[in-house]
Amino acid sequence: MAVSNNITSILNFISLLCSIPIIAAGVWLASKPDNECVHWLRWPVLLVGILILIVSLTGFVGAHWNKQGLLAFYLFCMAIVIILLLILLILAFVVSRPDGAYDVPGRAYHEYRLSGFSEWLRDRVTRSDHWQKIRVCLAESSFCTKLDTEYISAEQFFAAHLSPLQSGCCKPPTICGYQYVNPTMWINPVNTPGDPDCTLWSNDQSQLCYNCDSCKAGLLGNIRREWRKANIVMIVTVVVLIWVYLIGCSAFKNAQTEELFRRYKQGWV
């Protein structure tokens, strides 16, 4: 049984290591300004990573001290964790697949249409009862104000690769024809009927375009980009965990068989 338990211990150590990139991805997602403002998006990946860590430690203890009941509990819990991770991965992939970005002539950055994103994600982020809290949170962040120190001339700004959030919230849509003063101050629009957001733009630094659909779209663009990066970590982790789980099940079954054979040889069966 020692060989099977040693194999299980090694596998649990591998799954424990798998929890580290998941937890790191969760912390990275939670630290982003957009996810700080959309609270329900901050914790799922982090919580799954912590669950993997706890379950792996349980399996390691069970294998090291030959606690068969604990090992069975570990296998049951790990199956649930893998299912949760798969559900999270599929959901993240489906809702982050649509992309509302479009090119703007003469600009290095993209702009974003709200209609181009997942309806499920739109409903949970941009509903009026949610957006008011999110808007206040975004206005208190520094992602717009720091643009004023990074870009001086219009040429520098138009050549910048802005984040979706900066593109949508910190400036008016290009179609409005505003004249550049600095990254967060624009004057003299020539085409306000071109987009409803044109009349919502304000040079008040606490307002800017935080009430615009372009800002909502930019927030969704940021969320989409960050979750697609996190998806890569989750895909690799779930493949490794499934591999570890299958070998762990085989090792557990072999350990049970070895124990039964040992008892038979001793005349217990």
169-187 pLDDT, tens digit each: 999 999 999 999 999 999 9
How would DSSP label each residue in 111-163? EE-GGGS-HHHHHHHHSHHHHHHHHHHHHTSSTTTTHHHH--SHHHHHT----
**Whole-number Cα distances in Å, 96 to 8, 13, 27, 99, 247:** 36, 32, 19, 7, 32
Is residue 55 within 8 Å of residue 71, measured between CB atoms? Answer: no
Average pLDDT, the chain: 85
**Whole-number Cα distances in Å, 231 to 14, 63, 224:** 20, 31, 10
The residue-averaged pLDDT of 84-112 equals: 90
Instruction: Give residue 269's pLDDT.
Output: 46
Instruction: Give residue 254's pLDDT.
Output: 65
Instruction: Give residue 25's pLDDT.
Output: 86
Tens digits of residue pLDDT in 119-132 = 888 888 887 778 88
In the block, tokens 């300004």 appear at: 33
Helix (H) or strand (E) holding 14: helix 2-31
Instruction: Give residue 160's pLDDT.
Output: 94
Helices 68-96 & 213-265, crossing angle to 10 degrees? 160
Query: Is the pLDDT score of 162 beyond 90?
Result: yes
Query: Is the pLDDT score of 263 beyond 80?
Result: no
Q: How far apart are CA 201 and CA 60, in angstroms?
A: 57
Is residue 112 within 8 Å of residue 103, measured between CB atoms? Answer: no
Could you tell me which residues are beta bridge partners of residue 110? 103
Q: How far apart are CA 215 and CA 208, in angstroms?
A: 10
User: Which residue in 243, 192, 201, 249 sits closest to 75, CA to CA?
Assistant: 249
Least-confidence region, from 62-66, 71-75, 88-92, 171-175: 62-66
With cut-offs at 50, 70 and 90, classify the pLDDT of residue 31.
confident
Q: How far apart are CA 223 and CA 195, in angstroms?
A: 24
Q: What one-letter code names the amino acid at 19? A: S
Does this model's pTM top 0.85?
A: no
The residue-averaged pLDDT of 39-61 equals: 83
- How many other C-beta atoms lie within 10 A of the C-beta of residue 116? 16
With cut-offs at 50, 70 and 90, classify the pLDDT of residue 217.
very high
Across the chain, the runs of DSSP E, i.e. the strands, are 101-103, 110-112, 179-182, 185-187
Instruction: Give residue 1's pLDDT.
Output: 46
Q: Highest mean pLDDT range out of 43-52, 63-72, 142-151?
A: 142-151
% of the chain beyond a pLDDT of 90:
37
Instruction: Give residue 183's pLDDT.
Output: 95
Least-confidence region, from 19-28, 55-64, 97-106: 55-64
Tens digits of residue pLDDT in 130-152 = 888 889 989 988 899 999 999 98
8-state DSSP, 110: E
Least-confidence region, from 1-5, 136-140, 188-192: 1-5
